[in-house]
Structures are given as structure tokens and as C-alpha cells.
Amino acid sequence: MNCQNADSITSHAAQKKRRQTEARFFIQTLYQNGLFLYELSNFYYVTTLFTNQWAVFFTSTFAWEVCHAFDG
């Protein structure tokens, strides 16, 4: 009986750890999608607000660089 109880405790601990890992992956996915949304909105919409070519260059380049820097 004690062996079965120890196995169930270990199984419960493994499930809890797996659940925490999956939750972290979910948070990471939300973060990456938000970052990608920022990048695309900057690249396709914010750059259209500028007429100066240097401003367009810097806003679009900054969006790509921020995305790559934060994403890893």
C-alpha cells in the first residue's frame, strides 16, 4: 500500500511539473505573438504615417530589430 501511495505522489508531482511547463510555454507563445503583432503593425501601418524616407526606414528597421532582440 505504501509503494502505491508513493507512486501516486510521484505521479502527481510529475503532472504538476508538466502542467507548469505547459503554462510557461503558453505564456511564451502569447508573448511572441504580441511581439509579432507589434512588428507587423509597425511595418505595415505605422510606416505609412510618415512621408520622410528616413523615418520610414527607422520605424520599420526598429520594429524588426526589437522583435529579433526580444525573441532571441
Which parts of the chain sit beneath pLDDT 70?
Answer: 1-10
3-state secondary structure of 45: coil
Q: Give the start-to-end residue ranges of the domains of the chain.
A: 2-71
Per-residue pLDDT, 60 = 85
Let me know: does 35 contact 68? Beta carbons within 8 Å: no
Q: Which pLDDT score, from 0 to 100, does residue 19 have?
A: 92
pLDDT given for residue 71 in this prediction: 76
Taking the C-alpha atoms of residue 47 and residue 57, their distance in angstroms, rounded to an integer, is 8
- The owner of cell 500500500 is 1
What pLDDT is recorded for position 7?
A: 61
* CA separation for the pair 23, 41 (Å, rounded): 27
